[in-house]
Amino acid sequence: MVGLTEAKLRALAGTRSFERGLGYVDAVSGIEVGTDSIRASVQGTHRYGAELTLGGPRGLAGECDCPHGQEGNFCKHLVALGLVALAQKADLPRQRKTARNRARGLDAWLSALSREELLALVRNEITEDRNVRRRLELRAASARGDLAALRSRLRELLDIGPFASYGYVEYADARAYADQAGQAVSAIRALTASDRPADAVVLAREAIALLAAAAENVDDSDGRLGQIGADLADLHHTACRAARPDPEELAHWLVGHAVDEAAADLTYLDPLDYEDVLGERGTAALRRHAVLAWQAHRTGWAEKHLMQRLAKAGRDVDTVIAVHAADLAPNGHTHLLIARELESAGRFAEALEWAERGLRDTGNLATVDTALVDHLTDRYTRADRLTDAVTLRSDHFKARRTLLTYRQLRVAAQAARCWPTERKKALALLSADAGAGADRKGAQGTSVLVDVLLDDRDIDAAWQAATTSGAHDTQWRTLADTSRATRPAEALAAYLRLAKPLTHQTGSRTYEELVALLLSMRDCHRALGTQDDFTAYVTTLRTTQKRKRNLMRLMDEHGL
């Protein structure tokens, strides 16, 4: 088959999938060669159906129902099928010719049958194959205009019972269920095509509801039911365009669907897309029903989301604010959202009032949304209210004493030219925390005092704080690295203390960290003029750690 080469398979799949496909060659079975296709089963995590096609607009292509293939990728199973086909390449022309002959023979045989013989054949197939029977029953009911029969058949198609074990459809059976459920889409589409869009609207809604209920009990890892749901939503919209249902009734259904999270998540049907069908009267009804749904459940996510989208679409800022205000978050986040909405509408004074109200309503700056504090500080700064900005940052720092809030206070105070005063007060708070023995792992412990002093490059004060109240290993390392040239004795003591526990550990990272400390120690000894002491330390270390070959190798590489 022209175009089927190993190089083409590698190019389509990529190196990784191609290499993995090599291991699946023996898992290929049931090869069926058609005139322009090759089909087979490939045993992977499950048994997957793979098909290669030639002669299309893209040349060589393939489809597989594995998860990777369902995402549109040329997967390892297709690679395996292609490699098996290449191994049989010499025989493929004969097999393709045989396939063409079979197709022609079948067509010729069917054409020669009488009407009675064809009917007998179809009836026999209906008896033996349930799927064939269902498909033909749907077509017959559609042709007769028998809505009750169609509804009954749709319920059968969307029933998970035949595929479920203990009420749940496992992954292995999900595809078969999805294939059957997909027949419902075809049946409803046929109604629209046959000038019966009003019936299609009714059945599409019923099918969406049935599928949404079923989806909760199906392992739809491959997303097949989601695609069927999207197809049903498209069919509903298309049918509505043709049938032009009552706008008031349509609006009521759209809102009910939107606030039914299971159904909405399945179809992603957007009520705002129906503006062309609803018209002015229907759009007004849509807003009215949305308000009623929201009033009945003000904290519901779906209700709030629909209200917000409708309000924004109509540029109704006050409605958006009302929806937010009905369910204010205790940390001020919702106040911030309201402030941003008001700002986007050019209502800056109201926006500032809502942001400030967020701080008041929160009450505790330790739990406030930090984005609200940042927002207000920025607005105060823009308005040249620098004192207010400093006060806010100072209050926030007092409530949440962290390196970040200290830095933010410093920026605000430097802009207001009052940093020395604010710094003194902030350091006094942190020193009091350290003196009171606050949790050093928390936001108010000694670690914060050392961090802020290091951040201020006040190294002497940082050493004093660390020596007096303690510090974390990372802080001792920073202190030592920062002042190795000016405080070699103190830095050396810190390095020795940090190195000691590492000598009892193993692993590449440990060895690299230990060697880095040794190099820093060597610098300290050179500054102190005590190189002999360093040599003695390294000699002892080599003696006690000689079994750690990787450590010895690293030390050799660095001349230690």
Q: Which two tokens stand for residue 349?
A: 């004074």
Whether residue 148 has pLDDT greater than 90: no
Give the domain-ending residue among 65, 82, 112.
112
Across the range 290-301, mean pLDDT stands at 86
Is residue 438's pLDDT more than 60?
A: no
| Residue 191 forms part of a structural domain | no
Most confidently modeled range among 126-135, 166-175, 526-535: 526-535
Instruction: Let me know if residue 424 belongs to a domain.
Output: no
Q: How far is CA 181 from CA 153, 159, 204, 229, in A?
A: 11, 8, 12, 10
- For the chain, percent of residues with pLDDT exceeding 90: 44
Q: How far apart are CA 115 and CA 488, in angstroms?
A: 105
252 φ, ψ (degrees, to nearest 5) = -60, -45
Instruction: Work out whether strand 59-64 and strand 37-43 pair parallel, antiparallel, or are unpaired.
Output: unpaired
Q: What is the pLDDT of residues 217-229, one digit of tens each?
A: 999 887 888 889 9
Chain centroid offset of residue 65 CA: 23
pLDDT score recorded for residue 442 = 43
Quick one: pLDDT at residue 136? 78
Q: Name the token pair of 469.
A: 């109240």
Model confidence at 117: pLDDT above 70: yes
pLDDT at 441 over 60: no
Check: pTM over 0.75? Answer yes or no.
no
pLDDT value for 63: 87
Q: What is the mean pLDDT of residues 113-132?
A: 83
| Residue of 209, 208, 214 lying closest to 229 (CA atoms) | 208
Task: Show the domain range for 526.
Answer: 480-557
3-state SS string over 476-494?
HHHHHHHCCCCCHHHHHHH
Of 57, 81, 112, the position where a domain reaches its end is 112
Please state, in angstroms and rounded to a whole number, the distance separating the CA atoms of residues 37 and 503: 65
Query: Is 75 within a domain?
Result: yes
Q: Is the distance from CB of 356 to CB of 375 less than 8 angstroms?
A: no
Confidence grade of residue 336 (pLDDT, cut at 50, 70, 90): very high
Triad 506, 511, 512: Cα angle to 5°:
145
Give me the pLDDT at residue 446, please: 59
pLDDT of 328 higher than 80: yes
Predicted pLDDT at 189: 84
Of 3-17, 161-175, 436-450, the one with minimum mean pLDDT is 436-450
Residue 351 falls inside a structural domain: no
DSSP assignment of 317-337: HHHHHHHHHTT--TTSHHHHH
β-sheet with 59-64: strand ranges across? 28-33, 37-43, 47-56, 59-64
Closest C-alpha among 113, 114, 135 to residue 126: 135
pLDDT at 196: 85
Q: What is the DSSP string of 540-558?
A: HHHHHTTT-HHHHHHHHHT
The reply to whether 293 falls in a domain is no
Backbone angles phi, psi at 262, to 5 degrees: -65, -45
* Residue that terminates a domain, selected from 112, 142, 169: 112
Cβ 478 vs Cβ 490: under 8 Å: no
Count of other CB atoms within 10 angstroms of residue 370 = 15
Query: How confident is the model at residue 151, as a pLDDT?
Result: 87
Quick: pLDDT tens for 377-435.
999 999 999 999 999 999 999 999 999 999 999 999 999 999 999 999 999 999 888 87
Distance in angstroms (rounded) separating the CA atoms of residues 103 and 383: 81
CB atoms within 10 A of CB 221: 10
Q: Torsion-angle region of residue 251: left (phi > 0), alpha (psi -120 to 50) or beta?
A: alpha
- Identify which of 407, 406, 385, 388 has the alpha carbon closest to the alpha carbon of residue 397: 406
CB 410 within 8 A of CB 419: yes
Q: What pLDDT, on the 0 to 100 scale, is given for residue 444?
A: 44
User: Is residue 208 domain-resident?
Assistant: no
Q: How far apart are CA 334 and CA 324, in angstroms?
A: 6
Asked if the structure places residue 259 within a domain, the reply is no
Predicted pLDDT of residue 127: 84
Mean pLDDT (whole number) for 91-111? 84
Task: Look over the chain and give the mean of its residue pLDDT values, rounded to a whole number.
Answer: 88
Give the C-alpha separation, 163 to 215, whole Å.
13
On whether residue 184 sits in a domain, the answer given is no
Largest CA distance in the chain: 112
Q: Give the C-alpha separation, 239 to 332, whole Å.
A: 45
What share of the chain has pLDDT > 70, as a percent?
96
For 150-164, 372-386, 388-402, 473-487, which range has the lowest pLDDT when averaged over its residues?
150-164
206 against 194, higher pLDDT? 206
pLDDT of residue 443: 40
pLDDT tens-place string over residues 37-46 = 889 889 887 7
Q: How many domains does the chain have?
A: 2
Residue range 318-334: average pLDDT? Answer: 87
Strand segments, DSSP code E, in 142-254 are: none
